Amino acid sequence: MMRKLLVVDDEIEICEFLKSFFEDRDFKVVTASSGEKALDQVAQFQPDVVLLDIQMPGMDGLQALKKIKESNARTKVIMVTAVETQEKIEEAMRLGADNYITKPLSLEYLEKDVQDKIELLSQGMQQNSSPR
Amino acid sequence: MPTPQRLESLNRGKFDYQEVLRDVARSMVRLKRPDRLLKLITRFIDRQFGLTHTSLLVFDTKRNRYVFVNSKGARRFPVGLIKMDVNHPLIQWFSDSRKKQSMPKDFLFLSDVKKMLSRAEFRMASDSRGDQLTGIQKAMKNLNAELIIPGYFKDTLVGVLILGKRVNGRCFTKQEVIFFQTLAHDCSMAVKTAEYNQNLVEQNRELERRLEEIEGLRRKEQRTYYEIMRSLAEEVHAKEPCIFGHVSEVEKLGLMTAREMGIDLSGRTKDILSAALILHDVGKIGIPDNILFKPGQLTMEEWNIMKSHVEKGARILEPLTDFKRVREIIMAHHERFDGTGYPRGLKGEEIPIEARIICVVDSFHAIVSTRCYRDGRSIESAVQEIRNCSGTQFDAVVVDAFLRALRKGLHKKGAVPDVLGDYAGR
């Protein structure tokens, strides 16, 4: 099954770049430019992993994170943001973020982290389907 | 500046390598902020060579990492999104090769990395060079990089020029690679020059800030010292009862006299005169009480000790460097206009004007005050004596001004003696 990734960032350039980067690595990728649109995409597209910016007009990334975790607890959410205050990091972790990556980021690290999250998901699925 | 325009026009048509390089070198010297030059170079390469992307990674000295500052082309990177740490295999490849000179390479093709990896010596698992090359290959694929050109300043890797494939699939020529190297070198120079300039500006600002801080502390210290001196001076005056009762009355009278003389008392002039009026007898703190308060005549020896209060005062005020003039005034406040005073026997205009004022005010003050060796005399008799000594002990101009000031001062108190009444207006 193809792995599904949602990229949420109000900068179109970033969305487009990460979309083609992960498409080259056999991901199915959709993008969203705001918190509200991200929630719609999560509902429709059911991504495995979400790359979520924090500072966006309208609903910000932390609010979106909370809602995503409420509706799709299984979905892994990686915060990808230029905000690096301890307060925001702690809040994101409290709301259930699976990682917090600050921009500028290392592409190698981002790629590895997304792969790790996919790995975790597939392990979880195997565990669920195996008899107890 | 012709250069950016030339690069602009070159962006649209054919170009001559030499011409472009000369232009870049020239504008590099002129540009204080290199951002514009870097941007122009990136765009120039992008348009001229038709690459999937042209990107520039520059070292951020403050955060100790390399960040993409410019990117052009269909597969460009969003500026500010991607960084490379100093221990990134690609960064290390170029910084190490420069230091150790083991593999002096000023460029790196993806095909070269592949070739090296296929060689047995690099395939061995224990070879860290192999790991490094694998990391580089991965990074170059991540960045869609075909050719990488490092930019150095001295031996420091300042930045890296990352070029994607040609859209038309053609390879880069040797001449083109040399051209890119020269541009990368020029970019590094521009970045470093700007950095040095910026550092100098910042260091300068820091120095100025510190100097201001020191100056502030110094002023505060001077102020504190001044306050201590003022208390000392008041202590001296407190021992000697007088009709004005307080040192600030002497100060007021002295300032009024100066104003009557038409001296501009704004700012420092007033501060200096005020300080001198208040502190002129501070040296008396160093005179033994048995001499200071001796009833009757002083012996010659005692008188000499008494006179030393002038130098003592000047010495006490030495740390008050902001008030150097005050010391000169205090040194001269017992000089007489006719040159028969002490300690130096200065004459007329040689005596600072402030000292001439203090001389009159202080004498008046002494005459009307009750001292241990005699009772205070009336204002009338004091005025008479001051007038008698005008032109000999005192400067006549100062005496005239003083008497006008005294009259105004007493008028406010409703006690103008006759002797001043007929003096008024003259």
Contact A106 B138 (CB under 8 A): no
Query: Is residue B229 in a domain?
Result: no
Whether residue B192 is found in the same domain as residue B245: no
Helix runs in A28-106, H state only:
35-45, 61-71, 86-94
Query: Is residue B231 in a domain?
Result: no
Whether residue B125 is found in the same domain as residue B260: no
Whether residue B68 is found in the same domain as residue B20: yes
Query: Is residue B227 in a domain?
Result: no
CB proximity list for B335: less than 8 A, separation 6 or greater: B341, B342, B344, B345, B346, B347, B350, B351, B355, B359
| 8 A C-beta contact, residue A8 and residue A61 | yes
Note if the pTM is more than 0.90.
no
Whether residue B158 is found in the same domain as residue B244: no
Q: What is the pLDDT of residues B249-263, one digit of tens each?
A: 778 889 999 999 999
pLDDT at B357 over 80: yes
Whether residue B191 is found in the same domain as residue B303: no
Whether residue B42 is found in the same domain as residue B124: yes
- State the smallest CA–CA distance between residue B99 and chain A in angstroms: 25
Query: Is residue B216 in a domain?
Result: no
The yes/no answer to whether this complex scores an ipTM above 0.95 is no
Residue of B nearest to A22 (CA): B142
pLDDT at B423 over 80: no
The pLDDT assigned to B425 comes to 32
- Domain ranges, residue B354: 239-421
Domain ranges of chain A: 3-129
Say whether residue B138 is in contact with chain A using an 8 A CB cutoff.
yes
Supply φ then ψ for residue B79, to 5 degrees: -65, 135
Contact B81 A111 (CB under 8 A): no
Instruction: Please tell me the distance from the alpha carbon of residue A92 to that of residue A85, in angstroms, as a whole number.
Output: 11
Q: Which of A82, A129, A122 is nearest to A101 (CA)?
A: A82
- State the smallest CA–CA distance between residue A132 and chain B in angstroms: 41
Instruction: Please tell me the distance from the alpha carbon of residue B334 to that of residue B283, in angstroms, as a whole number.
Output: 13
- Mutation for B interface: A9, A17, A55, A113, most B CBs within 10 A: A17
The pLDDT assigned to B370 comes to 65
The DSSP element (H or E) to which A80 belongs, if any, is: strand A76-81
Residue type present at position B203: Q
Q: What is the DSSP string of B98-136?
A: HHH-SS--S-EEHHHHHHHHHSHHHHSTT-HHHHHHHHH
Q: Which of A105, A108, A111 sits opposite B81 (nearest CB)?
A: A105
Query: Is residue B124 in a domain?
Result: yes
Instruction: Please tell me the distance from the alpha carbon of residue B377 to that of residue B382, in angstroms, as a whole number.
Output: 7
Q: What is the pLDDT of residues B185-240, one digit of tens each?
A: 888 888 888 888 888 889 999 999 999 999 999 888 888 888 887 777 777 766 66
Query: Is residue B192 in a domain?
Result: yes
Of B94-103, B191-200, B331-340, minimum mean pLDDT range: B94-103
SS (H, E, C) B247-302: HHHHHHHHHHHHHHCCCCCCCHHHHHHHHHHHHCCHHHHHCCHHHHCCCCCCCHHH
User: What fold, for A3-129?
Assistant: Rossmann fold (3.40.50)
Tell me the CATH number at B24. 3.30.450.40
Whether residue B141 is found in the same domain as residue B243: no
What is the tally of structural domains in chain B?
A: 2
